[in-house]
């Protein structure tokens, strides 16, 4: 073998290894940032864990590939990471937001997509984060996408995010309960949420097949 070529290849592999290690550390920091966002609000304790689990279950029930399911699981965990860039006073405000404050809140999907750009799976997870507030009828944000133009991972996260928000206590209201939550989800079928995915998610709930994530000890 050629010594100079061997040395060049070894140097190349070492550079790749250093970059990979760097990415792994970066991803760890990003996941910690996501948990830091959740920790700011005691009302959303466990929200990310539930969202990640519910998103994964709906993705699997929809017959998506294991790689796609994994990306959607990460998307559920990281969907609100962009809120790290939003003023805490706005995030914790119990009253109605002003137009300016709401405009700030609406930037968090874009901020989040930028934050995860350093991750190895940014190409799969970034669009989920960026578009999880789009609506099936095109009335969402940040880009006003409609129907199947919205990445399927973002459509899944949007449904389970709404479900979990309605099922938990928030500063401005108590949990709506399962019956009212399902009524509101059905009311948004085909306008706010993908009708096929919504029906599938509701069926998981009604069949008792939606599993609660295990609480880590």
CA distance 109 to 115: 10
The DSSP line for 53-93 is HHHHHHHHHTT--HHHHHHHHHHHHHTTGGGGGS-HHHHT-
Q: Is 83 a catalytic residue?
A: yes
Q: Which is catalytic among the residues 17, 40, 70, 83?
A: 83
CB burial of 32-61 (b: ≥16 within 10 Å; e: otherwise) equals ebbeebbeeeeebeebbbbbbbbbbbbbeb
| Residues assigned a catalytic role | 83
């Amino acid at each position: 073998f050629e010594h100079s070529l061997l040395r060049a290849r070894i140097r190349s592999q070492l550079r790749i290894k250093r970059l990979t290690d760097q990415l792994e550390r970066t991803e760890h920091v990003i996941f910690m940032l996501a948990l830091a966002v959740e920790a700011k609000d005691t009302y959303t304790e466990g929200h990310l864990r539930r969202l990640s689990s519910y998103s994964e279950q709906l993705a699997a029930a929809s017959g998506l590939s294991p790689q796609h399911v994994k990306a959607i699981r990460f998307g559920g965990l990281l969907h609100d990471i962009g809120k790290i860039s939003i003023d805490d006073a706005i995030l914790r405000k119990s009253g109605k937001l002003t137009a300016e404050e709401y405009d700030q809140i609406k930037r968090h999907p874009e901020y989040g997509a930028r934050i995860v750009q350093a991750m190895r799976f940014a190409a799969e997870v970034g669009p989920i984060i960026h578009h999880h507030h789009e609506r099936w009828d095109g009335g969402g944000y940040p880009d006003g996408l409609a129907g199947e133009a919205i990445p399927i991972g973002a459509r899944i996260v949007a449904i389970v995010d709404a479900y979990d928000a309605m099922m938990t206590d928030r500063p401005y209201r108590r949990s709506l309960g399962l019956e009212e939550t399902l009524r509101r989800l059905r009311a948004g079928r085909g306008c706010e949420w993908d009708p096929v995915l919504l029906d599938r998610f509701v069926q998981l709930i009604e069949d008792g097949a939606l599993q609660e994530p295990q609480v880590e000890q």
